[in-house]
Amino acid sequence: MNNGIDSLTFNLSYGIKDRVNDFLPCDIEHNHSPSKSINEIRLWYDYVLDKGYKNIYLIGHSRGGLDIMHFYQTLNVGKQIPIKSVFLLAPIFNNWNDTTKQYETKYNINLNKLLGQPDQKLEIDFLGCENITISSKTFLSYYGPSGRGHGNLQKNLYNTSAKIFIVTASEDNIAADTHKLATSIAKSRKNIELKMIEGSDHFFRDLYFDDLMDILLEATTE
């Protein structure tokens, strides 16, 4: 990179061999899970450590922000030391109560009852895909209530001592509540900074990407 900072960008496989750099396809058999994604991130992180890098910045966008924050919290103290900052770009805040209301209204599915039932096939919206067939086990691994796995971003933020930058977008209609939810956390935690890019959507497209890069570069060159 022109700023002298090396970067490593990788795709989570979601169980797909040699997956291209694109959105997760909907027409696959979804056998992946957040825990498998965390294991893949760990492999790439160990690769970077083996290359001798000492100053590392973690960046995750959308659900990737959820993953990267959980990954950091799973590291022992020794492996956390090289990480100077964690950047969460329009991260997803899973809210179990909102999720249960949404799916009960749209599909007449009681997710709370689903928790105690055997694995079964669902026709349901999942990770941006509409009305796909998926196992309840896979669905709940992503959308299960806070504390049942990796999906509690709010808890991880309150528990971390890492330097965290949360960047939101004012026109985000995917992680629309993120700025509101992150505001109270940032006010109570000195290690967390919250920034909003006015006019941008969830993906920080076009000129808004330049605004995003300005935030990243300023934070990494301090």
Residue 98 has what pLDDT? 80
Distance from C-alpha of 49 to C-alpha of 159, rounded to nearest angstrom: 24
Instruction: Pick the more confident residue, 15 or 166.
Output: 166
Structural domain that includes position 117: 95-145
**173 in the same domain as 214:** yes
Considering 125, 145, 165, which residue would you say is the last residue of a domain?
145
Looking at the domain assignment, is residue 67 inside a domain?
yes
Whether 183 and 163 have beta carbons less than 8 Å apart is answered as no
Q: Tell me: do 50 and 70 sit in the same domain.
A: yes
Residues 87 and 103 in one domain: no
The model's pTM: 0.88
Would 74 be classed as within a structural domain? yes
**H-run or E-run covering 43:** helix 34-50
Q: Distance of CA 64 to CAs 87, 91, 112, 156, Å?
A: 10, 7, 25, 14
Tell me if 150 is assigned to some domain: no
- Main-chain phi, psi angles of 59, to 5 degrees: -130, 130
Is the residue at 134 inside a domain?
Answer: yes
Domain total of the chain: 2
Does residue 12 sit within a domain?
no
Question: Residue 9: inside a domain, yes or no?
Answer: no
Asked if the model's pLDDT at residue 93 lies above 90, the reply is no
197 and 106 belong to one structural domain: no
> 88 with 126, same domain?
no
The answer as to whether 114 is a domain residue is: yes
| pLDDT the model gives residue 28 | 84
Q: State whether 209 and 161 are in the same domain.
A: yes
Q: Could you report the per-residue pLDDT of 172-188, keeping only the tens digit for each?
A: 999 999 999 999 999 99
